[in-house]
A and B are shown apart, each in its own frame.
Chain A
Amino acid sequence: MSLKNILENWSHYRRAHEDGGHHEYEHMWGMAIDLNKCTGCNACSVACYAENNLPTVGKDRMRKGQGLHWLRMERYWDEPDLGGDEKEYQERGGSFLPMMCQQCNAATCEPVCPVAATYHTPDGLNAQVYNRCIGSRYCSNNCPYRLRYFNFYSYYEESWPEPLNMQLNPDLSVRDKGVMEKCTFCIQRIRTGKDAAQREGREVKDGDVVTACAQTCPTEAIVFGDLLDKDAQVTKLWKAQEVELGKTKQDKSNGELRGYRVLEGLNTDPCVMYMDRVREA
Chain B
Amino acid sequence: MFVSNKFLSKRREKGVGQGKVSQSLAMFFLLLASVFVISAAQAEVPNAIPPTVTHSGEDVPQPIEFPHDVHTEENGINCLYCHTYARRSPVAGIPPSSKCMGCHTIIATDKPRIQKLTEYWENNEPILWNKVHDLPDFVHFTHEKHLQRFVFENEGMDVENVSEVCAFCHGDVKKRTVAKKVKPLNMGFCVRCHEANDGPADCWKCHK
* Chain A interfacial positions (CB closer than 8 Å to B): 119, 121-123, 125, 127, 129-132, 170-174, 187-188, 191, 195, 198-199
Contact = CB atoms under 8 A, between A and B. Distances in A.
Contacts of B140: 171, 188, 191
B204 interface: yes
Interface residues of B, number: 13
A195 B203 CA distance: 17
Contacts of A121: 202-204
| Candidate in B88, B140, B204 with the most chain A CB atoms within 10 angstroms | B204
B107 to A, nearest CB: 35
Contacts of A129: 203-204, 207
Contacts of A195: 142, 144-145
Interface string B154-183: 000000000000000000000000000000
Given A121-B202, A173-B137, A195-B144, 16 more contacts: A119-B203, A121-B204, A129-B204, A129-B207, A130-B138, A130-B207, A172-B208, A173-B138, A187-B204, A187-B208, A188-B140, A188-B208, A191-B208, A195-B145, A198-B148, A199-B88
Contact of B208 (A125, A132, A173): A173
A187 B140 CA distance: 11
Nearest to A171: B208
B202 A122 contact: yes
Contact of A174 (B137, B202, B203): B137
State the main secondary structure of chain A at its contact with B: loop
B113 to A, nearest CB: 32
Nearest to B207: A129
A244 B88 CA distance: 39
B189 to A, nearest CB: 15
Interface of B: 88, 137-138, 140, 142, 144-145, 148, 202-204, 207-208
28 contacts: A121-B202, A121-B203, A121-B204, A123-B204, A127-B203, A127-B204, A129-B203, A129-B204, A129-B207, A130-B138, A130-B207, A131-B138, A171-B140, A171-B208, A172-B208, A173-B138, A173-B208, A174-B137, A187-B204, A188-B140, A191-B140, A191-B208, A195-B142, A195-B144, A195-B145, A198-B148, A199-B88, A199-B144
| Candidate in B88, B145, B202 with the most chain A CB atoms within 10 angstroms | B202
Contacts of A198: 148
Contacts of A170: 137
Contacts of B138: 130-131, 173
B144 A131 contact: no
Nearest to A184: B204
| Candidate in A125, A129, A171 with the most chain B CB atoms within 10 angstroms | A129
A131 B202 contact: no
A72 B116 CA distance: 56
A173 B138 CA distance: 5
A246 to B, nearest CB: 22
Nearest to B140: A191
A170 B91 CA distance: 13
A131 B207 contact: yes
